[in-house]
Amino acid sequence: MAYESIIVEIEDHVAIITLNRPDALNALNSQLLQELSKALGEADANDKVRCIIITGSAKAFAAGADIKEMSDKSFVDMYMSDYFEPAMRTISNVRKPVIAAVAGYALGGGCELAMMCDFIIAGENAKFGQPEINLGVIAGMGGTQRLTRYVGKAKAMDMHLTGRFMDAEEAERSGLVSRVVPPKKVLEEARQAAEKISEKSLLASIAAKQAVNRSYETTQEEGLLFERRLFHSLFATEDQKEGMSAFLEKRSPQFRDR
């Protein structure tokens, strides 16, 4: 399918999805989110792809949901269409690892989209924020829930109530992003991380992702049991035998996702 609001490239085992609405700082509208969720579904189903990167431009990852598209909508429009919900569900249910490579603004829905990814690599110029309060609304794509879990109540409340932006240094210090690099190196850093992930067994990567995500959904005891059962189940795979044999034989493993 030809996309208009995103660009999809597959390099080796990595699908790179670039948000591409430069005139609107990659604001997220219905079309972009539908295209993004379709592209993510295709990448998830593509056997060649082992890791996915979502990125934007040097100035903006995404400056939020498209205010022009939303401004005239009524409660009934929003409620009956369950605005953005199907796309958000698809995006956050991708099974393969997804990295957000963020340079510039990641605001509102843009910050929320980055948080739907498995981890965020940020450029030094990145700015995260939930400025919806300035528009007379609140976050609607998970910002009150995910940001609070990732950076804690104090900073989440501060950002949601004042609308202030968090720079990359503060975001790394607060646990929102995993790495900060010079803006020009954001995509390269994400690509290197994606290539490293692509070398692993995809079975183990998916299990790791599911287990970490489960920690946000359940008690520690249940989470520990879930982790243990996944760990046990990986002993049914050829990749576990290969990984451990390779270590003992002092060679690199050749994982086959079996």
CA distance 194 to 216: 24
Least distance in Å: CB of 194 to ligand CO8? 26
Footprint on this chain of ligand CO8 (rule: CB under 6 A):
24-25, 27, 63-68, 83-84, 105, 107-109, 131-132, 135, 139-141
Q: Which listed residue (109, 123, 140, 143) is catalytic? A: 109
Question: To the nearest whole angstrom, how small is the minimum distance from the Cβ of residue 79 to ligand CO8?
Answer: 10
Q: At closest approach, how far in Å is the CB of 100 from ligand CO8? A: 15
Residue of 28, 36, 49, 47 whose CA lies nearest to 1: 36
11 is known as an active-site residue = no
217 is catalytic: no
Q: Is-contact 150 173, C-beta < 8 A? A: no
CB-nearer residue toward ligand CO8: 5 or 198: 5
Give the nearer residue to ligand CO8 in terms of CB position, either 69 or 227.
Answer: 69
189: annotated active-site residue: no
Please state the closest distance from residue 163 (CB atom) to ligand CO8, in A: 8
Structural contact between residues 224 and 211, judged by C-beta atoms closer than 8 angstroms = no
- Rounded distance between C-alpha atoms, residue 230 and residue 122, angstroms: 31
Instruction: Answer yes or no: 132 catalytic.
Output: yes
Given 27, 60, 62, 65, the catalytic residue = 65
Token look-up 């035998």 returns 241
Please list the active-site residues. 65, 109, 112, 132
